[in-house]
Structure 1
Amino acid sequence: MAKQRVTVCLPPCAPDDLRPALGAAMAPFEYDAQIGRSDEEWQGEWDYWYVSSGGLEFTVRRGHEDDPLIVRDGQEPEDPPRPSWLCDGGPKGLLDLETGRVRAAEEAARQWRAWRAFAALHPPSLPYTHFRQRAHDEPGAYTLARATEDFESQPAILALRDDPALGERFGWDPEGWFGADRGFFVERAVQDVLPTAALLTLDGRWLEGGSHGHNVRFNAYVDGLPDETILVRVLYHS
């Protein structure tokens, strides 16, 4: 059992109607709620839920911070005050979905350039997947232990291990993470800004993710919604 977040998409509604609308959208996915289903093994997605962003807040468009349609139900009494430009949801047209993406693109580009500058100081390195694949292709002759040893013996990787700050900055397998393609690295960072672990669509589909493909589909779906569509971050216990 774990807690995760779903972004729920709702038709336009008044603030007082938001909770019933969320309840109606989430109800078919309650554990053991065999609503209209013939599969007796189906167990649903949640046993309780509540509005909560948990670090995945939406940004409110400037000038709309006090709009009554903005959703701010996800704060506990003991939580520190939240800036007025952050919220748990609201009509898509009142949310700034682009600023976070722009910042993510700029930061990813900086990270990619920094790694390439560091990597240029050392002989070319290979990602861990190169050595793991060899172990798969040569069972017995080339072990996973040897693959790890060969990967970690590369000069650039040794340099990262000798400097914890660099290791934290670039990760344990930088070639596997940053890759050779700057465009893909930046785009992956941009696509990662908005999605949650799951998306509940307007037509009642529960789409779970955890992959770049899910993030791409998530963004494409949300970007295509009318501005009146309400988006809400919900924490659910699964």
Structure 2
Amino acid sequence: MSSPLTIVVALDPDTATATLADSAASRVRSQDLSPAGAVGHFSARRRLTRKLLRRVRGRAAGGPIRLLDFQSMRTHADNYAAWQWQQWRAVVSGTRDAQPWWVFVDRHRADPDTWPVSRAQQAYLAQPRVLAMTAYNAAYRQHPIPRARLESLQSGFNAYRTLAALAAVPGDAVATADGDLLTTSSGRLFDQLRYLHAANDYIDRLHRDTPLVAITAQSGSE
């Protein structure tokens, strides 16, 4: 199973707007990842400015922090998560809590002969709550409920909203201006929260002239 990643790249404040995408892609490649291109990830404070990268339908792929509207992104993510959690709760009504995918990955790693990947996937997907989510996603493809967020969904309404707001700006990973890559070490909710705390703290401490660029790459996990 694979899913696209959104990687937010911090660049030097002197980076020219015309080279933002190429500079960010180069930074992503230095982390042994394959960039697929810049993506409209950020809300922007101004409608028309040459400082923003590829602004389309109200979303920009990058630009100086002073032109990006983090609060709007976090509020939108919070509101959408609130709606999505209510939808999820109705979809899984009557089903028991399910074990997240990382539990089955751990079983496979501990005993690959007894738990090959195929068996782990089948056991995970066969859980009634996961089956309910899969059926809903097949019927409502425009607004799917991500199975990868199962653990946070089961943590409750407020926890799910908080996680969504925290993830709105940094996305799945942050490539720092110093060449480091901040990302979660596993699919566990605790590790995700630890990453999001570090990523938001890093971004919020950057100078407002620092340009950020969102790049998509490919992941090989659930």
Q: Same fold (TM over 0.5)?
A: yes
Residues 69-102 of structure 1 show CA distances to partners (whole Å, capped at 9, x for unaligned) of x233x5xxxxxx834x433433322221111211
TM-aligned CA distance change 1:165 to 1:71, over 3 Å: same
| In structure 2, C-alpha distance between the alignment counterparts of 1:215 and 1:108, rounded to whole Å | 16
Distance 2:150 2:34 in 1: 41
Residues 128, 151 of structure 1: 8 Å contact kept: no
Task: After TM superposition, list the pairs within 5 Å mapping 1:62-73 onto structure 2.
Answer: 64-68=46-50, 70-72=51-53
**Partner residue of 1:230?**
210
Q: CA deviation at 1:175?
A: 4.8
Structure 1 partner of 2:126:
152
Q: Normalised by the size of structure 2, how large is the TM-score?
A: 0.61
Match of 2:189 in 1: none
- Structure 1 residues 182, 235: closer, same or farther in 2, change over 3 A? closer
Corresponding residue of 1:214: 195
2:152, 2:163 within 8 Å by CA — same for their partners in 1? no
Relative to structure 1, the CA distance from residue 207 to residue 159 in structure 2 (aligned partners, 3 Å threshold; closer, same or farther) is closer
| Letter in structure 2 aligned against 1:127 | Q
Larger deviation: 109-118 or 157-166? 157-166
In structure 2, the residue matched to 1:10 is: 12
Greater helix share, structure number: 2
- Superposition pairs of residues 41-190 of structure 1, within 5 angstroms: 44-45=30-31, 53-56=38-41, 58-61=42-45, 64-68=46-50, 70-72=51-53, 82-83=56-57, 85-120=58-93, 122-128=94-100, 132=104, 145=119, 148=122, 152=126, 154=128, 156-160=129-133, 164-165=138-139, 169-171=144-146, 175-190=150-165
CA separation of 1:135 and 1:107: change in aligned 2, threshold 3 A: same
Unmatched runs of 5 consecutive residues or more in structure 1: 32-43, 75-80
Return closer, same or farther for 1:127/1:66 CA change in 2, 3 Å cut-off. Answer: same
Percent identity over paired residues: 17
Larger Rg belongs to: 1
Change in CA separation of 1:134 and 1:184 when aligned onto 2, cut-off 3 Å: same
Assess, with a 3 A threshold, how the Cα gap between structure 1 residues 158 and 10 changes in structure 2: closer, same or farther.
closer
AA at the equivalent of 1:54: V
Question: CA contact under 8 A between 1:10 and 1:22: conserved in structure 2?
Answer: no
Contact 1:105 1:187 in 2 (8 A): yes
**Normalised TM-score (structure 1):** 0.57
RMSD: 4.8
Question: Structure 1's 209 and 150: CA in aligned 2 closer, same or farther, altered over 3 A?
Answer: closer
Task: Measure the CA separation in 2 of the matches of 1:89 and 1:49.
Answer: 15
